[in-house]
Amino acid sequence: MRIRPGRSTRPRTRIRPTHDTALDGFVVAVDRGRYTCAIGDRVVTAMRARELGRRGVVVGDRVAVVGDTSGDEGSLARIVRIDDRASILRRSADDDENTVEGRQERVIVANAEQLVIVSALADPPPRTGFIDRCLVAAYDADIEPLLCLTKADLAGPEEVLAYYADLDLPYVLCHPDRPLDELIEALRSRLSCLVGHSGVGKSTLVNRLSPDADRAVGVVSAIGKGRHTSTSAVALPLPGGGWVVDTPGVRSFGIAHVDPENVLHGFLDLLPASVNCSPNCDHLTTPGCGLDALVAAGGADPRRLTSYRRLLSSRTGDTRPSA
């Protein structure tokens, strides 16, 4: 018998398919091809089954898991099914869909019910342009937004709240030396995702909400720009029920994935006036735009219209100053 180099002469063993009972799981972390899943009161490490093909698994996914689901050290289960997602929160690296960065779309979390936009009132100062981008992404994904204003001991919220007065945006104030009762109640029994610039106190909030989170807490630099302190999204259970997804601090929140017609849905205070526009109104240069008439009549804050048009222009690579 001729033996080819590198080939064993041992008889092949045919691997028979397993018929393990699939257990429902919830993906709480993703790290280099390994997925941490919560199954009941156990935490299980799993890999994606080959039959799933190229379909990605992200934090928040509801999945079916088979194999070794003991959760013991060294055990490895398999994810064999991903349930349909109720919502998908995405962001891109850029606003302009014509750039490479704009086409790099990233799923942040699946099945989130609430997007908690964390913004410091000082050190670093609030950036309404970033908040506006998050609102556009939240409404596009059909996720409820909640504005969480931190470091309320350093500055008052009046200026930020005045900017969003016509939007009726829900918000909570957080002080470092006061209980987080209002925020805890807003998160109870829900899957919420926290997003915010580095240094706004997001990880500090998570550590207070979930004492076992053990997330790194960074120090804000003297120039007011925060350091990145979390490097991957992770879902953490809340003592009162519900989950909170802590995400890495970001410097930008691109919306190239949002259809231009849907950007206006992130500005609900301006949206009703669009019915007065001509059918082909671009809301930028078209004469007689209903949004201009709304602002001229005192029905909306002109800064809101400026922000909307800045975001809309950025979709085409316009280089006007960003918010």
Name the binding residues for GTP: 150-153, 196-204
Give dist(CA 64, CA 113) in Å, integer: 21
Read off the DSSP letter of residue 68: -
Strand partners of residue 222: none
Q: Which helix (H) or strand (E) holds 118?
A: strand 114-120
DSSP one-letter string for 240-290: TS-EEEE----S--B-TTS-GGGGGGG-TTTGGGGGGS-TT--SSS-TT-H
Which residues 6+ apart lie within 8 Å of 157 measured at CB? 121, 149, 171, 173
Annotated binding site for Zn(2+): 277, 281, 283, 289
Of 222, 231, 225, the residue nearest 249 (C-alpha): 231
Terminal alpha carbon distance of the chain: 75
Residues 285 and 133 sit within 8 Å (Cβ to Cβ) = no
Beta bridge partners of 65: 23, 79
- The binding site comprises 150-153, 196-204, 277, 281, 283, 289
241 CB neighbour count, 10 Å cutoff: 11
